[in-house]
Structure formats: C-alpha cells, structure tokens
Structure 1
Amino acid sequence: MISIQNRITAFAKLGHFLSQFSIDNINKIDNIEHNDLFFDGFLHQIKIAQENNSWFTKDNILFSLQSWSKSLTESNLTEFTKNINSDTISGKKVAIILAGNVPLVGFHDFLSVLISGHSVLVKQSSNDKHILPFLAKYLEYVEEDFKGKITFTEEKLSNFDAVIATGSDNTARYFEYYFKDKPNIIRKSRNSVAVITGKETEEDFVKLSDDVFQYFGLGCRSVSKLYVPKDYNFDTFFTGMYAKKDIINNAKYANNYDYNKAVYLMSEFDLLENGFLMIKEDESYSSPIASVFYEYYDNEIDLKIKLHQDREKIQCIVAKDFIENEVAFGQTQHPKLNDFADGVNTLEFLSKI
C-alpha cells in the first residue's frame, strides 16, 4: 500500500501542476514534474471539454482548476488526512458515480477514495469526461504505485466493495435500490440559499453575485433561493448583481433566460428582472437557469426552524451573522477540503468499509 505521506505528496504535485492554469493566466512553469509530457496535452483536454459541453466555458473550467490548485497543497492535505488511520484501512475498491453539472464536480470523491488508501472505480458523466482521466494519468506518473488503483469505466459497475453516487432525486431512488447491499453514500439534489436581513451593503451583493452566477448557477453550491424580510426592496440586490451583466453574452445562458422569461410571462407570474436575471416569489429551492426564487419571512426564529427542517435539501446557507455553519457572501464556490458535500464525512465513511 502507498504510504499516506506518498499519497499526500502526489496530490500536492498535482496541485502544483494545476497552478499553471488560472483564469488570469495560463503559464508554463519550468520546475513542475513531467510538465513537458502533460502541459500541452492538458490544454488540449480543456479545449475538448469546452467543445463537449457548452456550459463548460474556458473561464468556468479554469475557475475549477484554480480552486483545486489552491486546495491541493501539502499543508491542506496533511490537515485533511490527519484522522486517517492507515492501519485500519484494508484497501477496498470503491466505485464513484459522478455528476456532470460543473467541471470536476466529482474530484473530491476521487481524492477522498485514493488518499484514504483505497482503489477507485470511476463512472463519469458524459457531460464531464475529459479532464479527470488526464489528471489521473498525471497522478500515476508522479506516484507509480497509483497504477492499477484507478479505473474508469463506461460499462455497468461490477466487482466493487462500496459506492459513492451523486445524481438527481430520481436517480438517487434507483441508486438506493441498486446499491442497497453495499456500503454507500447516495447524494441527491441540493441547492443553496441566501438569507437577506436588509442590512447588507452593495458590496455584499456584488460578492453574492459570485454565489449566484458561477457555473451559470448549475452547482449545488450555487444560490438559487433568497429569504427576504417582508416588503423588502430589491434595488440594492439588483445593483450588486449588475457586476455579472456580461453573462447574458453567453448564447446558451441567453437562450435559457429568454425561454424561462417567456414561460413566466405566459403563466402571468409576477417577476422582477434586469435583463439577465429574473427573481420570482416561489417556495421551491431549485430555480431554472437565469432565475432566482425568493420567499418572505416574518421572523428569524421561524426561518431558522424552517431551514433546519429542510436541511436535507440545502447545501449552503449564505448569511451574515444569522445562523451557525453559514457561508460568507461570495464564498460558496470556495469550499475547503473538509467542507463535505451534504455534511457527510466521506473520509469517515471510507475508513469503515
């Protein structure tokens, strides 16, 4: 078995490799291991990923890569793995079924399985199938003992000991039945919400625009629902959102905006909009692309009770000094390694299989 330190070192080297690819600059660095072999090839994979999925813009892919490069440092990985007891892990094969809504959305599961000392069997979404296999190949070059421990498949999953599967609420029901005899983590659809008190500044809403618009709002950490006080005036909110006005220049986003606006207008729904974002009063958590739902609240205690009752539907709560475990404005798309999806500690699960 690969030592925990060697696993950490390998992923830290991957983080160093990814540091060459940021939104501001793509820059080849001389002292990165195997760079002559992988740099140009990875640029090509980024290009193919864009061509394969028009939601995967170059900026969105680079944002994801930049985020992972910042997370995959020796110190972060050492802290992340401090409770792993290699003596108790017997090296099982863990299947992971990945979503494809945002670039590298399943990388945390991939990292968790390998860094725990297990082998990984990966079934990717057809929407995001180009980048991860390339990064896996890089890992095998910087740590040869990873060879044979990483398998990608497009076939029906077989010969595995545990499974981590992510999908919609509908696919989750299938997963729960199909994998009922295996140790499993089954993730369903979740959305993120923001609690507005009326004390927010324009700068707060500029930051919130990152939480709303990053990845076109397709991620579970994207804010799709606002809770606002009775008779709230949305002017300052829209002023902050204006920072992302250029998003309407993306053809696919614009098509969704036009379509959803037409549906709302034909249904005679009341809505407010600014040319690239619509907000609509609605009790649902999941809003269509280019729209955010909102709901009024009468008092903070009742709202806190509701958020607690609906915790299985909520990934992040964005707020300022409102509730425990809240996420600061502008930070939903910057999770730390120990910000486990759905609040389920993947490393703890992997230590017990």
Structure 2
Amino acid sequence: MSDLFSADQFEALDTWLAANVPALGEGALIADFVAGGTTNVVIKLTRGGHAVVLRKAPVMGPPASGKAIQREATVLKGLGGSRVPHPRFHGYCHDPAVAGGPFYIMDLVDGWAADLSPIDNQMAFPPHFAGGDLHYLAYAMVDGIVEMANLDYVAAGLEGYGKPDKFLERQVDRWGSQLASYPERYPGFESRDLPGLAYVADWLRANVPDTGRPGLMHGDYAMNNVLFANRPPARLAAIIDWETSTIGDPLMDLAAYCGQLRRRDGPQPASPYLDTALFPYFEDAVDYFAERTGRDVSRIDYYQILAKYRMACIIEYKVAEAAIGLAPPEKGVRFDGLVRGLLTEAETLARAAG
C-alpha cells in the first residue's frame, strides 16, 4: 500500500503495471513521492529492483491538467526512436480508478538537473560541471533545440499535435489575453500599467516575419527542465516537462533560452539565475543552432522580443499571487522586477530594430 493512492487505486495500478509495463519486473510495488504542484504529480515506482516514473494530474488540479498529461504522453510516445533526448515512454492510462487521474509511465533517467541555490538564488551545478564547463552545458542545451527542430514531426505521428499555421501571428493576443485574465483568476488583484507593454505588443504585431518551417517546440525550455548526463562531457540525458510543447516555430525555444546569454553588443539580459560571464555569447549560440539546422536566424531579434513579452505576461501571475496574499510580499517584489526588466529589454530591442 501507499499513502499516495487509495487501497483500490494501488491495487488497480499494480495490476495495470503488470499488464502494460512488464519491464518493471515482479515483486512488491513501492511508490515514493518525487515532486508535485498544481499541474502534475511525479511518483517513483519501484518493483523487483527496477524503477520507473509515474506522472499524473493532481487530484485537485485545474481542469486542463488531465489534458496536459495526455499531451505529454502523446509527444513522448512520438519521440520514441528519435534523436531528441527524452525519457522512454512506457504507457498512458486515462482511467481515474487506476491512479486517481490520467497518468503515464516513463523511464527513470539517470542524470542531474540544475537547481536554484537557496543562498544566492543562482543556478547551482555539480562540482565537476561548475566553472569552465558551463560553455559546454550551454551548447548541450542548444543541441536539444537542434534535435527538436530537425525532428520529422509528421513521421513521428505528431502532425495534429499543434496548429503551426499563422503561429507567430497568434502569439501576441494569446499571451496578452492570459495577462488580462489575472484579475479574474486572482480576485483582488488589479491589472497594472506596465511600461513598454503596449509598445512591444504593437511592434510585434506590425513586424511579424514569415514563419519558417514548423517544428516541435518545448515551450518552457530551460536548464531546470532538462536532465544532463552525470559525468562530462556535457550532454543532455533527457528533456522533461513537456506540458507546454506544441508544433510551432522552434526559434521560439532558441530565443527564450538564448535570451539569458550576454550579447557582444546591445542590451544585456536580466538573468538573475545565471552568471552570464561563464556562458557563451548569444550570437555564438544562435550561429551554432543555424549551422546544425539550416534554419534562417536573421530575424532572431523578433523572436527575442516575443519571448520576453511572452515571459513577462506569464510570470505576472506571481505578482498577482503576492498582491492577494497567496505568496510572500518579497516574492512579488522580485517578480515585479523581472516583469519590468523583461519588458524594458523587449522595448529596447524593438526600438533598436525600428
């Protein structure tokens, strides 16, 4: 039995695993909580010396959490046999009687993820990667975007996974609508007049480039959403947390990740989690991607501006939470600075682009 499931659910899960994940072996099933939040719960399952990971929608999660789990299962299944680093997919179940909600099973990946240091709120790395090898970590991150961009998503069975037509044209309204929804989602919070927001939104609408060929994009590609191999040389063991993935424009992932890197010229990023002096230049990382994909990166600044606008719209909810007492005031102050910093960077880039 496990505190994570009812007795009936645990028995049903045990039976389902025996039928659908024979690689787990035989013996008593042990379930250990790994992580969880409002969108998903991660549980390690062990039996007979073998281990896998169960990822499921939380019991009291938002209505879309079950659909997000199904989408993650779909993309992981499609990635089987591809060059995209990912956990091996074992199966998906939508029956709530089995584990209390939709879930899927994937391999337990042997690797490490960057995490925030409680001391200085900086990304912390294992000792054998700290220092000079950070350049290689950055290029390993870009390698992941390269493999997603080069994936034949139709052959992978992901043709209907997203709506790539007019993808860029929809982005400003998509994220602007989310920003506008926060007063309703967080009663007591009022929309703020954010300097630069209107200018950046208008500039993005007026300067949409021709969308390149569609590809798989992660949607939240960052160092805390990948697992690196445990020993040098730096390489990705798996990309995880696929809940925001879609078929769209891979340059969005590239711009979002590389936006943390310093530029040779122009405005420098507000990168509170990274010491950018230890990482390569933005321009070098973008060129590295272009050489390995053949994609046109001449309008990368547009994607940079869009990525910063998008992130500012998303993380404003942290300010809303703090404003109504759902988070500490100091968290609200920190995210207020991040939102304003992102919009300042985006506006500076937009005005420089003309």
Q: TM-score, normalised by structure 2?
A: 0.28
